[in-house]
A and B are shown apart, each in its own frame.
Chain A
């Protein structure tokens, strides 16, 4: 059994909220609750981590990137815990694990030109031995992503369009050539018509450079376009996972089904059937109950058992896990 590229073991993250800068209060939020999954090392894959806001997906991304420490559990990259990597081999870790963030504007320091991001990257990771070499690398990488160096270099972030800014992040990735990209909603803030172009680059990174990607999103449309496998997250817990094709064509968990039916299909002949009852969509009390299944408040199949105990994540079919009492017998 080979060591997985990335392994999350029972990762939990609890935030304290409230007065005294959070240090004197007892109110807590469990953003991530016992999440476990792996990404293999033997072949490059794109794994989609799917969930709405409040599902904990961004928290997980930050923990993998070392920007946040888990409350309990372990994150292992190539067999070593992330905290160990950061303590002993910080530079090497970041050479292999890099992010793509959501907002194409705020990933740039507005006071500086955009080239600075690239120059800093080259300098810090010692990717080039001279300024000429650095420039050559930048120009090549830009052309590969389909951006024109003549037009963009030397500009400030606000002078580029959102799509260009987001694609510029791909230039940075191409320079570093990481093994694992943690992409947090990389296309949700660019036009729908530009998303496929961006996602194609993720696919080519996987196929040509062998780069794996943890693709975090709430949109199953784009997830289905790029992902090899899908993990569905609801209020901090994994509720379903499996290969992308199977999860989409045969969703098991009611939440997955809800996500799928809520997708807008670009065909007026296939409009949403029933109306979503808006008043059931959100309530003020944390919808996630302290006990019971995370989804019971919104689930059409909820039983008393669902309200009392949290269903375990079990393998309902080969290669497919689901956390729902509908599948325990």
Chain B
């Protein structure tokens, strides 16, 4: 009789995880919201091409200036005659791109530092941990402001800069979890089965870190988008990267509210909030999935 000796159960873990995750309303809501937002961002070029007949959304004077919301312009037009909905979709796309890139870089740096620090221990841990805590203490915004004001930025540089100030959070979370996992007997068993440190990290530790990595990523994305928005509100940051924050900042500078261009201010703000809400829901939802007891406390 042949027995199927499966080495990895990740596929089954994934399917059982999905089954449980379906039970968390927060997770599902957040995920759906994320899909909608991401979908809008991904299909923005198509949507805008269709709506604007191939012209670029940022072209001035495309339409009449200052039109109120209508069927043709669901969010109206701004003072330069641009369709607000088109602008906002462009902004969403760039915001997400910067957020994901910066969040991704931050998470990766955080993972590498967090895992090395706690797994290797000793002096390495002291040094890396001090650096992590050091950056956390730094006044992020002024430093960001200084860097962005003086250095010519492209998308990658912006993401990198933002990531540099965001990774410590991921590093700390992941370090804490690795510290708790690495003393587990199954790690010791792996060592006496002659697995190398790298094998142990990738095969044994990483699985246990997945929820923390996802959480770190969510928080990093939120953090970097927020930081970027803050900078934009002060007028800093490259204009070639028209994120939602840029839109907001630009609108405020030109006194959009005072002139009655409400949608120009509300739309980006609401979208930003929706991004944060969606990511947060996914995060807390994941927490509920992995800690079912929380469900009862949160009442959902």
Contacts and interface: CB of A to CB of B under 8 A. Distances in A.
A120 B192 CA distance: 11
A174 interface: no
Given A94-B194, A109-B204, A119-B7, A21 B126 contact: yes
B185 interface: yes
Contacts of A153: 3-5
Interface string B105-135: 0000000000000000011011001000000
Contacts of A37: none
Interface stretch (B8-16, B45-53, B136-144, B164-172): B8-16
Interface stretch (A96-104, A196-204, A262-270): A96-104
B185 A98 contact: no
A112 B193 contact: no
Nearest to B189: A107
B193 A124 contact: yes
A111 B192 contact: no
Given A23-B126, A94-B193, A111-B207, A116 B7 contact: yes
A116 B188 contact: no
A65 B185 CA distance: 13
Nearest to B205: A109
A154 B5 contact: yes
Contacts of B207: 109, 111-112
Given A21-B125, A115-B6, A115-B7, A120 B193 contact: yes
Interface string B1-42: 111111111100100000000000000000000000000000
Interface stretch (A73-81, A131-139, A273-281): A131-139
Interface residues of B, number: 30
Interface string A79-114: 000000000001100100111011100111101110
Nearest to A24: B126
A117 B188 CA distance: 12
Interface of B is mostly: helix
Interface residues of A, number: 42
B5 A134 contact: yes
Contact of A91 (B2, B123, B129, B194): B194
A149 interface: yes
A251 to B, nearest CB: 32
Contacts of B7: 112-113, 115-116, 119-120
A154 B3 contact: yes
Contact of A109 (B1, B125, B186): B186
A20 B125 CA distance: 10
B208 interface: yes
A123 B193 CA distance: 10
Nearest to B129: A21
Given A20-B126, A109-B207, A120-B193, A101 B6 contact: no
A120 B123 CA distance: 32
Contacts of A149: 3
B3 A107 contact: no
Contact of A111 (B189, B193, B208): B208
A67 interface: yes
Contacts of A107: 185-186, 189
A23 B123 contact: yes
Given A67-B188, A94-B193, A124-B194, A112 B9 contact: yes
A115 B193 contact: no
B184 interface: yes
16 contacts: A21-B126, A65-B188, A67-B191, A97-B192, A98-B192, A107-B189, A111-B207, A111-B208, A113-B9, A117-B189, A119-B7, A120-B193, A120-B195, A125-B193, A135-B2, A154-B5
- Top 3 closest pairs, chain A to chain B, by CB: A111-B207, A107-B185, A101-B185
Given A67-B188, A116-B6, A134-B5, 12 more contacts: A21-B125, A90-B194, A94-B192, A94-B193, A117-B189, A118-B5, A120-B7, A120-B190, A121-B193, A153-B4, A154-B3, A156-B9
Interface of B: 1-10, 13, 122-123, 125-126, 129, 184-186, 188-195, 204, 207-208
